[in-house]
Homo-oligomer: A and B are copies of this chain.
């Protein structure tokens, strides 16, 4: 038997019929990322049923030198869970491990397998009068393990932090098959390096997350959603500071979008309407929340916030959603920007961040700068101003051919956008991770000291380089700059 055949035989014996397949039809959906940007090949799709099977499989992979591509919901944004086209790796799916092991309402903690889908976690928390304070578009497919491996963000980071802030404990299988047992949630634990933190956001290159302890919060009692028209993004920044001072802990979300994005959504969604009577250069969507019995105070707070902002000249016009339907309509505008912009034509999308207090200045500089450098393009920035994270899209000139444009001018545009954000001290990946999409850009623009540290840690923990090869960690400089 060949090395691969011997591995497959051993893996089959370990995992059983349900746990391993090489059937091309069964494997096919998991060899391409959900946006269809990357397609790879694999010798098998492994679906272990528990942590012990994951550990056994990783040991087999170490023995037979088989690369492993861990995969959760396969809904990542950077191709981090898609194998390369060598066909030498296995895809290790965590989806079969989908049990919520324990949910303790008193301590507000849940222990769940890596394969639990975010939507299911939300539902389980809601049934107990609690909530899991992170959500994003892919909640119907994204898994807890994938959210941890990519340190996912979303629309509640302003108030509750990224996935990192939700993780109280972690269990993972390391490259030698050892099980890192950090699942017990200790609020204080100073026994050396915080290995859990190293695993969060490591995109499956250092270990395979198999389970996690996560924090839950009391369910929201009520919310109000505000919509403000503003003369500029700088004004939005001032309104953000004002909102933080006025609303404090009640401020749950602060999103911004330019007039261009609103109009794209109004064109795209026939039923959508402009929340205000006149057009404004920028808009802010503000969500305030309260606990049980806080509805009345929250309504007052919302009115006070807008009244004081208006008085201080921080906004031009504003409205408060009168009910949940209107609140949903306002959020629908925000959530429809990406598809609405896509419907216009090809665009290069950049998930970037700079320090929160520099975001407005950055966009006001970078948007016209990109349009000047690439004539005919349109720069659009929208998103999470409160996190310093804006989705910075450069729309192609009219008539550009989808597919061809992205591969030619589009690549130059992305490199220029990444250069700019790096010059401003920002990040080329705010919340979508590096994966295979931005690995070489990270190698090009990353701080050399940080890159060296990352390579050292990767080599130390995964000396055979079997865990998610080709993702996240750029090769040594001499290998990428010949």
Contact = CB atoms under 8 A, between A and B. Distances in A.
A371 B302 CA distance: 58
B197 A198 contact: yes
A428 B426 CA distance: 39
B106 A357 contact: yes
A273 interface: no
A434 B354 CA distance: 36
Contacts of A457: 193, 198, 457, 460-461
A193 B180 contact: no
A164 B272 CA distance: 44
A162 interface: yes
B184 A194 contact: no
A431 interface: yes
Contacts of A404: none
B194 A201 contact: yes
A277 interface: no
Contacts of A479: none
A190 interface: yes
A384 interface: yes
Given A181-B447, A245-B218, A453-B461, A389 B187 contact: yes
A449 interface: yes
B184 A355 contact: yes
A472 interface: yes
Interface in A116-175: 150-151, 153, 157, 162, 164, 174
A397 interface: no
A449 B356 CA distance: 39
A234 interface: no
A106 B187 CA distance: 30
A195 interface: yes
Contact of A460 (B244, B428, B459): B459
Interface in A182-197: 182, 184-195, 197
Given A179-B449, A453-B174, A461-B457, A430 B189 contact: yes
Nearest to A105: B241
Contact of A150 (B180, B189, B190, B459): B190
A387 B187 contact: yes
B355 A453 contact: no
Contact of A192 (B187, B387, B434): B434
A178 B431 CA distance: 27
A387 B356 CA distance: 31
Contacts of A353: 186-189
B355 A185 contact: yes
B449 A181 contact: yes
B428 A178 contact: no
Nearest to A184: B425
A145 to B, nearest CB: 16
Given A248-B291, A291-B248, A453-B174, A198 B198 contact: yes
B456 A188 contact: no
B430 A188 contact: yes
B460 A191 contact: no
A323 to B, nearest CB: 25
Contacts of A469: none
Nearest to A472: B192
B357 A107 contact: yes
Interface in A206-229: 206, 218
Contacts of A357: 104, 106-107
A301 interface: no
A292 B354 CA distance: 31
Contacts of A104: 357
The 5 closest A-B pairs by CB, nearest first: A197-B197, A460-B460, A188-B430, A189-B427, A178-B449
Given A153-B190, A185-B356, A193-B457, 11 more contacts: A150-B190, A157-B188, A181-B450, A186-B426, A186-B430, A190-B431, A190-B433, A191-B446, A191-B450, A192-B454, A453-B461
Interface of A: 104, 106-108, 150-151, 153, 157, 162, 164, 174, 178-182, 184-195, 197-198, 200-202, 206, 218, 241, 244-245, 248-249, 291, 353-357, 384, 386-389, 425-434, 442, 446-450, 452-454, 456-457, 459-461, 472-473
27 contacts: A162-B188, A178-B448, A180-B453, A184-B426, A187-B386, A187-B389, A188-B353, A188-B387, A188-B389, A189-B353, A189-B427, A190-B427, A190-B432, A191-B434, A192-B446, A192-B454, A192-B473, A193-B202, A193-B453, A194-B197, A194-B201, A197-B197, A197-B198, A249-B249, A456-B460, A456-B461, A459-B460
